[in-house]
Structure 1
């Protein structure tokens, strides 16, 4: 905190007047990151594009944000900030970004015939997909040595493949359950 205060040209005591310790400062930085991501997502929703295009751009923006802001992204989603619920600004910013994302996925799913009761599962699957791609890239786990691909190609393909499953609709998922011989636990 003292180093940071000196770096920005304020007294060493100044940060303690604004933040409850180092974790409070980190929570404020993470909240700013979520607000920046939410601003990008807000612009996507404001565009006059089909719902599926917005969902694609929303997911791609998440992955690109993670790539461009690796340290910030890690702070935003990683375990560094313990007791996130103690920082309302962080919770609010994270929820705002997530709700923008969720609304785009929801709109695409509804247009593809998904019922409202299935939307929480569809949204969480989309979130898992975008976050999984982002964290695999940031942890230098992509591409796999034996399966060489360009990272940008893998991002584009992965998001399109996932969204094609949404576009195929719930009937396609049910037919897959029959092929896999796995009864659906929750009816889509």
Structure 2
């Protein structure tokens, strides 16, 4: 459904919001600048003026996603379980961002602002490992990758509807025992 014509304010923000909505509906690959212009009620050239091309717009969305993820992980505190569940919660509540962020061929992944935001999110996720209980593999240099793999994999499976139905309806709560299992104390 077409929105009313855009009249004033932050056009860049309006285009970003429309892009997030379109990605949520059809995925990042299906979105077009022309369709976004129609949704916002501006000329087809307006998105190009602000973002250059589709990859430029998707770069802005991915950057925003990594910033939002970094904020969510930082706000969760330093405990691995809290950071991990915040990651899963982010994926579910910001699905359009999440769907795009890990498809770097669709945007300018080497853009300095994306690299900085991605690094900030990575550091926030790795920060949870600092207070992790000692257990099998926790001293490994691969522990951060293992932790990320667990939470990212769980989030992806949840979003795909591929997990057992008895997991409940709270993805963060369902993820918690899975995260605990990987880093349980050896005995």
What SS does structure 1 have at the residue aligned with 2:118?
helix
Q: CA deviation at 1:74?
A: 0.7
The one-character-per-residue Cα deviations of 1:73-110 (angstroms, maximum 9, x if unpaired) are 1111135525522x2222221111111111221x124x
What SS does structure 1 have at the residue aligned with 2:115?
helix
Q: CA deviation at 1:20?
A: 2.9
Query: Structure 1 residues 151, 143: closer, same or farther in 2, change over 3 A?
Result: farther
- The corresponding residue for 2:162 is 141
**Residues paired across the two proteins, number:** 153
- The corresponding residue for 1:159 is 179
Q: CA deviation at 1:151?
A: 5.4
Q: CA deviation at 1:9?
A: 4.3
Q: TM-score, normalised by structure 2?
A: 0.69
- 1:104 paired to 2:152: no
Q: Distance in 2 between matches of 1:5 and 1:101?
A: 36
- Aligned-residue RMSD, C-alpha: 2.7
Query: Structure 1 residues 36, 149: closer, same or farther in 2, change over 3 A?
Result: closer
Match for residue 44 of structure 1 among 68, 76, 79? 76
Contact 1:42/1:100, CA 8 A, preserved across alignment = yes
Runs of 4 or more consecutive aligned structure 1 residues displaced over 4 Å after TM superposition? 113-116
Structure with bigger gyration radius: 1
Contact 1:33/1:76, CA 8 A, preserved across alignment = yes
Q: CA deviation at 1:3?
A: 2.7
Contact 1:67/1:134, CA 8 A, preserved across alignment = yes
Contact 2:70/2:121, CA 8 A, preserved across alignment = yes
- The corresponding residue for 1:4 is 36
Return 5+ residue gaps in structure 1 as ranges. 46-50, 176-188
Q: Distance in 1 between matches of 2:131 and 2:136?
A: 9
Greater fraction of residues in helix: 1
- The corresponding residue for 1:183 is none
What SS does structure 2 have at the residue aligned with 1:120?
coil
Matches within 5 A, 1:15-34: 15-34=47-66
- The corresponding residue for 1:120 is 141
Q: Distance in 2 between matches of 1:80 and 1:57?
A: 30
Contact 1:63/1:131, CA 8 A, preserved across alignment = yes
Q: Distance in 2 between matches of 1:59 and 1:77?
A: 17
- 1:92 paired to 2:116: yes
Return 5+ residue gaps in structure 2 as ranges. 1-32
